[in-house]
Amino acid sequence: MLKINQSKEFKKDIAQYKRDIKTIPNESVKAECNDILNKLLSEYSYVDAAHDVTNKSIDPTTVRENVERSVGLRQQLNKIIKYSKDL
Protein backbone atom coordinates (compact mmCIF):
# COMPACT_ATOMS: atom_id res chain seq x y z
CA MET A 1 0.00 0.00 0.00
CA LEU A 2 1.26 3.45 -0.91
CA LYS A 3 1.74 5.65 2.10
CA ILE A 4 1.42 9.41 2.09
CA ASN A 5 5.08 9.94 2.94
CA GLN A 6 6.09 7.75 -0.01
CA SER A 7 4.18 9.69 -2.66
CA LYS A 8 6.01 11.95 -5.09
CA GLU A 9 3.65 14.86 -4.43
CA PHE A 10 4.21 14.63 -0.68
CA LYS A 11 7.99 14.57 -1.09
CA LYS A 12 7.82 17.51 -3.50
CA ASP A 13 5.59 19.54 -1.16
CA ILE A 14 7.76 18.90 1.90
CA ALA A 15 10.92 19.81 -0.03
CA GLN A 16 9.24 23.04 -1.17
CA TYR A 17 8.17 23.88 2.39
CA LYS A 18 11.75 23.33 3.59
CA ARG A 19 13.14 25.59 0.84
CA ASP A 20 10.57 28.28 1.60
CA ILE A 21 11.23 28.12 5.34
CA LYS A 22 14.96 28.42 4.72
CA THR A 23 14.42 31.78 2.95
CA ILE A 24 12.51 33.35 5.87
CA PRO A 25 14.77 36.01 7.41
CA ASN A 26 13.06 36.20 10.82
CA GLU A 27 14.43 33.40 13.02
CA SER A 28 11.40 33.19 15.32
CA VAL A 29 9.03 32.89 12.33
CA LYS A 30 11.37 30.30 10.82
CA ALA A 31 11.27 28.30 14.08
CA GLU A 32 7.47 28.54 14.17
CA CYS A 33 7.27 27.25 10.58
CA ASN A 34 9.59 24.36 11.37
CA ASP A 35 7.42 23.50 14.36
CA ILE A 36 4.27 23.52 12.19
CA LEU A 37 6.03 21.40 9.57
CA ASN A 38 7.01 18.85 12.22
CA LYS A 39 3.41 18.73 13.47
CA LEU A 40 2.23 18.25 9.89
CA LEU A 41 4.64 15.36 9.37
CA SER A 42 3.40 13.82 12.62
CA GLU A 43 -0.22 14.03 11.46
CA TYR A 44 0.66 12.35 8.17
CA SER A 45 2.52 9.60 10.00
CA TYR A 46 -0.55 8.97 12.12
CA VAL A 47 -2.79 8.80 9.02
CA ASP A 48 -0.36 6.34 7.40
CA ALA A 49 -0.29 4.21 10.55
CA ALA A 50 -4.08 4.16 10.74
CA HIS A 51 -4.29 2.81 7.20
CA ASP A 52 -1.82 0.03 7.96
CA VAL A 53 -3.91 -3.14 8.31
CA THR A 54 -1.37 -4.74 10.63
CA ASN A 55 -1.65 -1.90 13.14
CA LYS A 56 -4.57 -2.66 15.45
CA SER A 57 -3.73 -0.12 18.17
CA ILE A 58 -4.92 2.95 16.23
CA ASP A 59 -8.63 3.70 15.91
CA PRO A 60 -9.30 4.34 12.21
CA THR A 61 -12.38 6.42 13.02
CA THR A 62 -10.14 9.19 14.38
CA VAL A 63 -8.22 9.51 11.11
CA ARG A 64 -10.65 12.13 9.81
CA GLU A 65 -9.58 14.44 12.65
CA ASN A 66 -5.93 13.96 11.69
CA VAL A 67 -6.70 14.75 8.06
CA GLU A 68 -8.56 17.92 9.08
CA ARG A 69 -5.69 18.97 11.38
CA SER A 70 -3.18 18.38 8.58
CA VAL A 71 -5.22 20.58 6.24
CA GLY A 72 -5.30 23.32 8.88
CA LEU A 73 -1.55 23.05 9.47
CA ARG A 74 -0.86 23.29 5.73
CA GLN A 75 -3.05 26.38 5.46
CA GLN A 76 -1.33 27.95 8.45
CA LEU A 77 2.12 27.19 7.02
CA ASN A 78 1.18 28.53 3.58
CA LYS A 79 -0.17 31.74 5.14
CA ILE A 80 2.97 32.37 7.19
CA ILE A 81 5.28 31.66 4.25
CA LYS A 82 3.27 33.91 1.95
CA TYR A 83 3.25 36.70 4.53
CA SER A 84 7.02 36.34 5.04
CA LYS A 85 7.66 36.62 1.31
CA ASP A 86 5.52 39.75 1.07
CA LEU A 87 7.63 41.62 3.64
Q: What would the pLDDT profile of 48-79 be if each residue is shown by its tens digit?
A: 877 776 666 667 677 888 889 999 999 999 99
Residue 55 DSSP code: -
Q: How many CB atoms lie within 10 A of CB 66?
A: 19
Which sequence spans correspond to the domains of the chain? 37-87
Give exposure, 12-44, as e/b (b: 16+ Cβ within 10 Å).
eeeeebeebbeebeeeebbebbbebbebbbebb
Q: How far apart are CA 15 and CA 28, in angstroms?
A: 20
Q: Quick one: what percent of the chain has pLDDT higher than 70?
A: 86
pTM of the model: 0.86
Side-chain-facing half-sphere of 20: CA atoms under 13 Å: 21
Tell me the helices (H) and strands (E) count for the chain, helix number first. 3, 0
What's the pLDDT at 55?
63
